[in-house]
Amino acid sequence: MALENLISIEFTSEELTALDGHLDGIQQVLAGKTVNLTPDQRQQYGSIGNQNKLIVDKAKNYMEQHPNWIPNFLDKTEFDKDYTARQQMEQRTQRLQNLTQQLLDTKTLLDHDNYTNSLSFYRMMRYLAGENEPGSKTVYEDMKVLFSKSARTASTDEQTSA
């Protein structure tokens, strides 16, 4: 019985070159404009949730309506610059997250197909080694070491014998 192939795609070298070129272009545009926070810094600064976005939007709106109420120590020009850049980045981040999720989901199906087929090949090597097919025992023994006797792979070994 043939295995179910969940997905079948391929990229031309031209498509990969174009994709890499676009990613390089994104990196070049963002160079010097983005930062890499440490895990501790990410925890320290957190992320702004929807409720806090509403607070920021409301504060901006009131600052626009009542500029004389803005504290002297608050740099409104910098606030506006940060506000605009944040909106611009959020729009692009959402698009990139969507594309990233599509790539990850597609890779998940490709990984599943590859792993399932590899298990089938391993089962065939085990069978052929048992039948003394020349050369198959070496392949089987080489692959066998990849299956440790942990609980997780024990269930995989049990599946392979089914």
Question: CA–CA separation, 117 vs 64, rounded Å?
Answer: 62
Q: Is the pLDDT of residue 153 over 60?
A: no
Nearest one of 145, 140, 114 to 127, comparing CA atoms? 140
Q: Is the pLDDT of residue 116 over 70?
A: yes
Q: Is the pLDDT of residue 45 over 50?
A: yes
Q: What does the pLDDT read at residue 150?
A: 52
Nearest one of 84, 77, 33 to 57, comparing CA atoms? 84
Tell me what the pLDDT averaged over the chain comes to: 92
Question: CA–CA separation, 17 vs 159, rounded Å?
Answer: 40
pLDDT tens, residue by residue, 117-140: 999 999 999 999 999 999 999 999
Looking at per-residue confidence, does 148 or 106 come out higher? 106
DSSP designation for 69: G
**Residue 63: which residues within 8 A CB-CB, separation 6 or more?**
69, 70, 76, 79
The number of beta carbons lying within 10 Å of the beta carbon of residue 125 is 21
